[in-house]
Amino acid sequence: MEPGSFVIVEPRKKTSISQWTENFVNDVSLHSSVLVANVALRQLGTLENIVVGTFSGRASVHSYKIENFGLRLVNNANNVYTYTIPQAKLTIENAILAHASGQNTWVVPTWKDPKFVLLSEYLTPIWVRLKEIMKLPSNWDSFDAEPISPQTVAKTIELLIEVFEMEYRLGYERIIPFVAPCSDGSVQIEWEVGKKELEVVIPSSENEKISLLRVSGEGKEFKESTINSPEEISEYLSWLLIE
């Protein structure tokens, strides 16, 4: 596909109402957070991976469907996906502009690039669990726990994409981590590779650092540390995957 050309999204039939997410406000909020965090555009920023779509229809009949990592709009009135691809050359710049321009315009990652397909496969099982985590109400653990915010989930995804990028770049097998909520509203990610383990806690507050725990030596050696941003995870992944 030529850079700058448009991705055609085939109209698809809606088969069942059960396909639609029950909590689309949270899901849409999360996707907005992910896009605002510029994850999709920064990490997957080849033009082939981005569709700018303008939804045509009455606002009252809008529905949203989450497909792995894409957000799609559907018109309930005629049960088909409706996209109008803008008649302008697509660039990352105008994709961002289009996203910011109004509620009826969305940036939608698609699945054309093999790397994006791999990323989608990597994130999908985690994404299923993160959606469950994001739906937890207050006091979900019966010990007065905080709910997990879409922003914390977005930060989690951002870190996971960093991990994917490194594993992809170095040609390592992608290890699906275990993801769990913490009572204080943070999210914990855990990897086990051989006899080494890495635990990462994504805090719920922007003022707190990401904390890490390395476990080695048959589960008897522990090293705690903190990082400021997901990009700094590479040193710890090197320890986990290479050393």
Partner 1 sequence: MKHSSGPEKISDEDGLYRGIHPLWIKNKGITSAAFKQRPPLDLRSVSRHSLDLSVDIARLTSLEKVLSSHPGYGVGIITASFFLNLKLVVYHAPEPCNYAHAIVFGRITDTMARKIARSARLLMYEEVFSPVLPQSQ
Q: Which residues pair with 198 in a beta bridge?
A: 191, 214
- CA dist., res. 211 & res. 49, Å (int): 32
Give the footprint of partner 1 on residues 183-202 (CB under 8 A): 183-186, 188, 190, 199, 201
The closest alpha carbon to 30, from 40, 20, 15, belongs to 40
Query: Which of 28, 85, 118, 213 touches partner 1 (CB under 8 A)?
Result: 213
| Segment near partner 1 (CB under 8 A); pick from 3-11, 40-48, 93-101, 217-225 | 217-225
- CA dist., res. 11 & res. 205, Å (int): 41
- CA dist., res. 168 & res. 190, Å (int): 19
Query: Which of 9, 96, 118, 145 touches partner 1 (CB under 8 A)?
Result: 145
Which two structure tokens, joined as six digits, stand for 186?
A: 């943070």
CA 223 to chain centre: 28
Closer Cβ to partner 1, 165 or 192, answer by number: 192
- CA dist., res. 146 & res. 138, Å (int): 5
Q: Is 206 in the site for partner 1 (CB under 8 A)?
A: no
The closest alpha carbon to 49, from 99, 90, 81, belongs to 90
Query: Which of 20, 24, 140, 164 touches partner 1 (CB under 8 A)?
Result: 140
Closer Cβ to partner 1, 207 or 228, answer by number: 207
Closer Cβ to partner 1, 65 or 129, answer by number: 129
The closest alpha carbon to 44, from 105, 114, 97, belongs to 114
| Segment near partner 1 (CB under 8 A); pick from 22-30, 56-64, 79-87, 203-211 | 203-211
Q: At what angle do helices 150-170 and 24-36 cross, to 10 degrees?
A: 50
Q: Is 182 in the site for partner 1 (CB under 8 A)?
A: yes
Q: What's the closest the beta carbon of residue 54 comes to partner 1, in angstroms?
A: 38
Q: Assess contact for 163 and 237: CB atoms under 8 A.
A: yes
Q: Is 134 in the site for partner 1 (CB under 8 A)?
A: no
Q: What's the closest the beta carbon of residue 26 comes to partner 1, in angstroms?
A: 16
Site residues, partner 1 (CB under 8 A): 129, 132-133, 136, 140-146, 178, 180-186, 188, 190, 199, 201, 203, 205, 207-208, 211, 213, 215, 219, 222, 224
